[in-house]
Structure formats: C-alpha cells, structure tokens
Structure 1
Amino acid sequence: MSFIFLLMLLVEAQADITTGSYKELLQSYLSGQLSSALGACQVEALRREFKSFADVIEKSMDDFKEKTEADYKKKQDILISTYGKSGAVYTRWGKKTCPSDAEQVYSGYVGGSWFDNPGAVVNPLCLARDPEWGIYQDGVSEYKSYIFGAEFETAGSSMGSVHNYDVPCAVSRKTCYKGWILEYTGYLMAGYHKHKAGTTYTCFDSVPDTINGSGNNMDGYLVYQVEARCGSLKCPPYVEGREIVCAVCSKQ
C-alpha cells in the first residue's frame, strides 16, 4: 500500500514542472512517514536512493524537453522553408510562363467542357504539354465525360487580337515534377456531358475502394472517366478519345 502511495506521489510530482518539487515531496514523505517505522540509518539510506532516482527522472525530463524543443524547431523550419518562401501553388491562365519571381511547375493547355453541353463541367484545367497515360481504350465513347481545348472569344473587346486563338496556361499528370511528392495517381473524372447538373473535374484514385453493401443502380452524383477531344486541344500530344490520367502531389 505504501509503495502504491509512493508511485502516486511520483506521478503527481512529474505533473508539476517546477524543478525539485517531486524531490521535496519524496523527502518529506520519507522523513515524516518512514521515520516512525524505521531507524534513522535506514531512513537516510532510503532517502539517498530516492534522491538518486529523482535525479535520474529530472535528467530524463530535461532531455525530453530539449528533444521536444529541437523537434518543434526543426518542423517549424521545414514549414517556413516550404510555405514561407515558395508560397501557394496557382495557375496563371492565358500565359505560357509564370512571373519572374515565381517557380514554374509546368506550361500547358487550358482544357474544359464543350461550351453548350448541358452537363458541362464548371472548372477549367491546365493540362500538361507532355501528357502521360494509364490504362486506356482509344476512340470516343458515348458514356464518358470529355475535355476540350479552350479558345479565346474576344471579338470587339480590348483583347480582340487573340480572338479564336487557343488558350495556354502555366502550372493531369501521372507522376510528379522534381521537388514534389507523389501522393497518389488516378483518372480524371467528371459528370456526363449530356446531364444537366454542373460538375467539376476531380482526380479519382486509380485503384478505388467501394462502400460495403452497395452495388445497386441507385444513381445520385454520377462520375465518368474523362476523354481527350482534339481540336483546340492539341493532338498530338493528346489523343482523341483517350482517357486522361492525373496525380495528386504535395510540395517537399
């Protein structure tokens, strides 16, 4: 029972980070409680052993604190190095290059849905000039989502000089560029081009999981693989009717 009480005192002492507090508690316990049952020599011997034990605990706590502070500083330096200097990743629409003070990941073509499809995808993408491919079946399929190249429609405006020209961009790729970490690869998916609901291009994992108990055709939010469509989208490098792969990457 006394041993359990000693451990409880030690735990309480560790919760108090004031230097020497647990030493005082232990010494007080030894002096006040044990002296009634043990001789002075025995109490003194026990006091020395507990002092040695307390010193070990104190050193361990100091080492742990020092290591924790060092780990925190290291992680903080990594965050500052990664985000404080490189900043956010963004797409420069309508330009082939990034500003001179920004790091360019890649240059590409703007892609999106056909302009009057009832199920047009609402967001454009910046497609790399050197696409990579996964498992594919060439040829346009009816029940797919499509991606086309983009074209400026600027007649009669201050940007009339680029009217009907295809649109470039600077930032769906299977592997990551140098300095980036590959999180996963997948296939680009979106809604069916003839459905009336607006959707977005999304990178779905190439080896998807499914929900237990599902499998019945209940509809809902529907996603289809995205195929390349030539025209404003350059072919080559893209291929008519070929499924687009993608990757999710993070910055080191």
Structure 2
Amino acid sequence: MELNQSSTLLGRVREVIRYKHYSIRTERCYVEWVRRFVAFHGRRHPREMGADEVRAFLGHLAADLQVAASTHQQALSALLFLYRDVLGVDLPWLTNLDRPKKPKRTPVVLSRGEVERLLAAMDGTHALMARLLYGTGMRLMECVRLRVKDVDFERSELTVRHGKGGKDRLTVLPKSLMASLRAHLLRVRNLWEQDAAAGRPGVEMPEALARKYPAAPKSWGWFWVFPARELSTDPHRASSPYA
C-alpha cells in the first residue's frame, strides 16, 4: 500500500472513532495497532487481507513478542473495529477469532496502614491527587481531567465527566481535603490569570462546545484543576483525521 493510501486509511480510522465519541487514548491505541498490522503485512491494504492475516499478526504478537493477554486483546479489538466499523466488512471469521484468556490473579490490595504510610510519603500536588483518588474512588484520568466547575465545595461533591462508558457521575468530596483543594485552586487561578494576560487560546473543550460557547475555553470554570506544567497542543488538532 502506498503512503498516501495508508494516510487515508488511518485518517478514516480517526474519523470513525471521533464520530463514535471514543476517547483520545482509544484513538491513539487503535490507530497504532492498525498501523502495525499494515506494516507487518508489507503495507497491503486491509481489504486485501482477511482471517489468515489477522491470525498471523496476532500469532506474531503472542509467539514472537510475547505480549500480555490484555495487549493481545487490545490489538484484536482494534482490528475488529477496523474491519467492522471502518471498512464495513462483516464476515463470519470476525466472530470466530479466538480471544486470549486473561489469567486470573489475586488482586493486591494495600492495607489501611500501608495506604497511610504511602500518602504520608508524598507531598505537593501529587499528594493531593493521590488523596483525592483514594477518597473519591476516581480513576487516574478522571482526576487529571477535572475542571474547576466540577468541584462543588458547598455540596461536598465532585462531578466526574465522561467516566467509564462515557457516563457522568457524582462522587463525594472528602471534607478532610477541602482546605488543601481550596489552597491549590488559588495557586491554579494565578496560572489561569497569567494565561489570560498572555492571550493564550484556552483549554481543550469536549466535542463542539468551543464553537457553541467561544468564550468557554478561556473561562475560569472550564480551566483544569490540575493543569500541566507546560503548554500543550490540543490532541485532536494535533492529529487531524486526515493526517
């Protein structure tokens, strides 16, 4: 397959993923697996391939690279998405592919004392994030994606946006963390004011909200609770569906 054809295929993968509102992490993951699958078979177009080529690629991952079952499953899911959702191929072999079985392991859970010692050894912003994770039940990326408007001190609540399954939910904001979180947000507001004074374009917005509310990306309410130390590029703009 020629380079421009490959680019068109990957662009189409991105386009369908965004149409279905999958996360940017899923987009990057699926695009990379499609890229590796095509490269493994000498840059042939997936329409020219089928069950044998998919099994060969998955066999390479398992036998030669010895990837974990979860990685193997991830690659298979990406290829199923490619054929079913992007190329519109709905053949019997798609449902007959063997899925790797994950080994059952006993989960490792820290004791209360171990958690206390772990949190006591941390400081600064990372300590606050760790305590929020422990006290609210949020996942790591849910914490990273918190916006200022999602924090409700009056009701002692946090709103988790686009959690697992793309659903929003409420969780309890521990009272023991309120003072630390308020102090943190004061420091963050200084950073937001510096960005505003510098005329920076603002934060990344979900879906089409930036077009619907042009001022929202620069507003305090939409600013990140835990902003990055350095400026970054909107990942959706950085990877155009047609790149």
TM-score category, normalised to shorter length: under 0.3
**Structure ranking higher in strand proportion:** 1
Q: Normalization by structure 2: what TM-score?
A: 0.17
Q: Which has the larger radius of gyration?
A: 1
Q: Normalization by structure 1: what TM-score?
A: 0.16
